[in-house]
Amino acid sequence: MKKPKADLLQGTLELLLLRILRSGPLHGWDVMQRLQLISGEILSVTPGALYPALHRLEERELIVATWGPSDNNRKAKFYELTAAGRKQLDAQRKQWELFSGAVATVLRDA
């Protein structure tokens, strides 16, 4: 089993994925597009990182997957936040805000 390359990066990706999935069920490709779009093309994720991350979230029961028809009526795998996922998102988000706030403060005042 391979270890994640960087914990911070992976943790961040997880947070972003959870946030994006909060608005409703999406399949992988949509998630990727949306991340790029919303972040103004600043943040992007390769499929090679995205799918394993989604599968890990599924394994941890933070999201569930269902197969359904996509926009153009093909079968796609949709991911959706679970209750546990929602909680995890809130917790991680608070942590992130604390962390980024602290970094910002240091950068400003040090």
How many angstroms separate the CA atoms of 4 and 11, rounded? 10
Angle 92-93-96 from CA coordinates, rounded to 5°: 85
Residue 69 interacting with another protein (CB under 8 A)? no
Q: What are phi and psi of 38, to 5 degrees?
A: -65, -35
Residue 108 interacting with another protein (CB under 8 A)? no
From the CB of residue 14, how many other CB atoms can be counted at a distance below 10 Å? 20
Residue 75 interacting with another protein (CB under 8 A)? yes
Residue 9 interacting with another protein (CB under 8 A)? no
Residue 29 interacting with another protein (CB under 8 A)? yes
Residue 26: both structure tokens together: 């999406």
Residue 19 interacting with another protein (CB under 8 A)? no
* Interacting residue ranges for another protein, rule: CB under 8 A: 1-2, 27-29, 32, 46-48, 51-52, 55-56, 58-59, 61, 67, 70, 74-77
